[in-house]
Structure 1
Amino acid sequence: EVMPLIKDFLAERGLQLSEEKTVITHISDGFDFLGQNVRKYNGKLLIKPSKNAIKSFLKKVRTIVRENKTATQDLLIRKLNPVIRGWVNYHRYVVSADIFGLVDHRIFECLWRWACRRHKRKGRKWIANKYWHHIDNRTWTFATEPAFRGKDFDEKYLKLEYAANTKIIRFRKIAAEANPFDEKWTGYYEERDGERMLNSTKGREKLVKIWNNQKRCCPVCGERITSETGFKTHFNTENNRKWPAIMVHPWCHRNLHEPNYLI
């Protein structure tokens, strides 16, 4: 019953379903889509990284390690970190905590073999002390003193990225009736953009820069913006929600969209 309706819907828009890739399956059996598995477990819908995505990622990591058998630890970390960081950031919005722990363990096993292969006459304790260090709360951190330091690098060790250290962020669904082209929803989308920027490293840097440029004060009321007051991001209507924006107090933000709010 569903397939003809979908085909007709797509045909009106010049599209068609791929016979090879289209599968009708029960939600309890689940399906893979864009590297993630969507499935109901005892009536609860969970989205996780798919098994194929995990295998493909670990295969890429092992290939990098295998191709750098004689490379320095510094170089190997610099090659692995962008790969690990990119994969983890893609899957951080779904149910990935257990998977991240598993991935870290598999990478550790791969790196341990890499280290042992380089020092066949050394003991396990010597190898562990050479390549792994106790940093922060992690006892076994694959790290080394960097061969060169960039202008923004001021830490003692260059460390491997660990998936389990990445904070899982739950994606907040967009309101069904929200319309980005309707001015009455401008405040709603500004709030979402602000949350997204807070969850992004680059976004936080931009927010701090805006905060400092405003001398840490709200441009509407002139009072200080602090962690206690909180803030909202406000975009001028001319820039179509593109940075730079301004940071204002929540009540000032409300007044910008509803001028009579404070009267």
Structure 2
Amino acid sequence: MSKQTFYHVDTAIFKALWSWAKRRHPMKPRQWVADKYFATRNGRAWTFRGTSVDSKGKPYEVTLVRAGDTPIKRHVKIKGAANPYDPEWEVYFENRLGVKMAHQLRGRRQLLHLWQQQNGLCPMCHQKITRLTGWHNHHIVWRSHGGSDTADNRVLLHPNCHRQVHHQSLDVASPRSQQSV
């Protein structure tokens, strides 16, 4: 549904640009107008283009981005009963944070940083954390207990190790704190 709406927006923008270009040059033939303002770029015909000037005065071509090229991201609503200050909801919010981090570049850098600091190992079972095994983002001091959301308060655990930590109330030490001792 969203993609279809974006394509409708693209069509409306194209029609407005075409009308503007024809109105701007009423005495020129349609082919001349098309050649002046539209080009084929990246295999896509009828891409609106123009020129701009950089800081050194050198002209360069700019093209209009199409709305239909916007990636669709689905967002999951937070459950109505979820309370970030309730320890019972800690796992739920940690899972949401992990999904959010995996979908944004800055978050992926943070995950990579945590993974590298842990030498790619789960601090509970000391086995490798891979895409195949999966991982969960765990807060050492739970956010519901006043812990921060910074990298020094988080570790990556295997999903099963993470469940054990929460169900058996186990303590997890940061591998970073062990390295500095």
Q: CA 1:231–1:99 in structure 2 vs 1: closer, same or farther (change >3 Å)?
A: same
CA displacement, residues 223-252 of structure 1 (integer Å, 9 cap, x when unaligned) = 2533x3444333443675634455444334
Corresponding residue to 1:131 among 37, 45, 62 = 37
Where structure 2 has 5 or more consecutive residues not aligned to the other structure, the ranges are 171-181
Q: What is the alpha-carbon root mean square deviation over aligned residues?
A: 3.7
In structure 2, what is the Cα distance between the partners aligned to 1:143 and 1:252?
54
Maintained 8 Å contact 1:211/1:217: no
Q: Contact 2:101/2:111 (CA < 8 Å) preserved in 1?
A: no
Matched, 1:177 2:86: no
TM-score normalized by structure 2? 0.60
> How do 1:144-183 and structure 2 match up within 5 A?
147-148=53-54, 158-183=62-87
Q: How many residues get paired?
A: 156
Cα shift at 1:121: 4.5
**Aligned residues of 1:231 and 1:250 also touching (Cα < 8 A):** yes
Q: Counterparts in 2 of 1:94-243, with a 5 A limit?
A: 95-136=1-42, 138-143=44-49, 147-148=53-54, 158-199=62-103, 204-213=104-113, 214-215=115-116, 217-218=120-121, 220=123, 221=126, 223-226=128-131, 228-236=132-140, 237=142, 240=147, 242-243=149-150
- After TM superposition, what 4+ stretches of structure 1 lie above 6 angstroms from structure 2? none
Alpha-carbon shift at residue 143 of structure 1 (Å): 4.2
Separation of aligned partners in 2, 1:217 and 1:205: 19
Secondary structure at the counterpart of residue 142 of structure 1: strand
Superimposed CA distance per residue, residues 119-178 of structure 1 (whole angstroms, 9 cap, x where no aligned partner):
4454433433443343446433334576449xxxxxx97443332223334443433432
Q: CA deviation at 1:188?
A: 0.7
> How far does residue 253 in structure 1 lie from its aligned partner after superposition?
3.4
- For the residues of structure 1 that align with 2:50 and 2:135, how far apart are their CA atoms? 39
Structure number with greater Rg is: 2
Name the amino acid aligned to 2:128: E
Query: Equivalences for 1:34-49 in 2 at 5 Å?
Result: none
Q: Return the alpha-carbon distance in structure 2 between the equivalents of residues 145 and 259 of structure 1.
A: 64
Partner of 1:253: 162
Distance 2:139 2:169 in 1: 20
**Structure having greater relative contact order (Cα 8 Å, sep ≥ 6):** 2
Query: Which consecutive unaligned segments of at least 5 residues does structure 1 have?
Result: 1-94, 150-155
| C-alpha distance 142-180 of structure 1, shift in aligned 2 (>3 A) | same
Q: Distance in 2 between matches of 1:117 and 1:260?
A: 72
